[in-house]
Amino acid sequence: MATELEKIAEQQRKAALARNEYDVNGAYGSTNKNALSDGDEKGKGDVDGSVGSVTDINVRKDNTGRNEYSVENGYGSTSKNAISDGDDKGKGQQGDEGTIGSLTDINIRKDNMGRNIYGKNNGYGSTNKNALSDGDDKGKGQEGNDGTIGGLTDINTRKDNMGRNIYGKDNGYSFTSKNALSDGDEKGKGQQGNDGTIGSLTDINTRKENLVKNKLYGPNKKSYPDFVI
């Protein structure tokens, strides 16, 4: 005899089976109506190429309706919307004229080229007028053999600096230059001749003053140290 617990379990099982539309005679599987895409929300299996629930199908139709490309009109390198033909969709080169880019790209390029003084037949290079030092501020490359290098500002600054410089190509500074020799001025300190005179005028006068104040040591006097070992 069944216990009370078994009786309750049997009642619950019958209630659950009553709510289940699938049974031994109508099991759920790949061929079941509720597993197939037949226009409702239950099934999504392929039926003659139709796949998905009714919501899936409707959303797909909506998306496809907004998509101008299809099996017969695929998007690729030869598609009208992939070619640069005067709209903003395509950017691929069309023909041999070299036109590349969308309408916006082309217009911006034309604007830039209109402001650019250089082009296919007037390229910028080492021989271009604006690359040479010819009296303006654009070019700085040497022109000819005169040694002129730099823009106009560079040249004027160099001339100003050279104008304040007492030394030049034909009057270079070296150990034989007048301003490098100790000849009685403040500029040169190098020894001149064999008289031993070294230093600027200030150096010489300071040395003379120090020698006068030195009573014991110096020329024609005792040498330091003045003791005998």
Residue 228: predicted pLDDT = 62
Residue with tokens 């830039």: 112
Distances (CA, A) of 191 to 35, 183, 184, 194, 200: 114, 9, 11, 8, 10
Cβ-based neighbour number of residue 28 at 10 Å: 13
Residue 19: predicted pLDDT = 82
Mean pLDDT of the chain: 88
pLDDT tens, 117-133? 998 888 999 999 999 99
Cis peptide before 225 (omega within 30 of 0): yes
Classify burial at 139, counting beta carbons within 10 Å of its beta carbon; exposed 0-12, middle 13-18, buried 19 or more: buried
* DSSP conformational letter for 213: H
The structural domains of the chain, with segments of one domain joined by +, span 4-64, 131-163, 180-208
Residue 15: predicted pLDDT = 84
Q: What is the pTM of this model?
A: 0.45
What is the rounded distance in angstroms from the CA atom of residue 1 to the CA atom of residue 3? 6
> Which stretches of the chain score pLDDT less than 70?
226-229
What's phi and psi for 123, nearest 5 deg? -75, 155
Residue 77, CA atoms < 13 Å, CB-side half-sphere = 2
CB 138 within 8 A of CB 125: no
pLDDT tens, 187-199? 999 998 787 789 9
Distances (CA, A) of 187 to 133, 157, 168, 222: 37, 26, 17, 33
CB 139 within 8 A of CB 131: yes
pLDDT tens, 82-113? 999 999 999 999 877 778 999 999 999 999 98
What is the rounded distance in angstroms from the CA atom of residue 99 to the CA atom of residue 110? 11
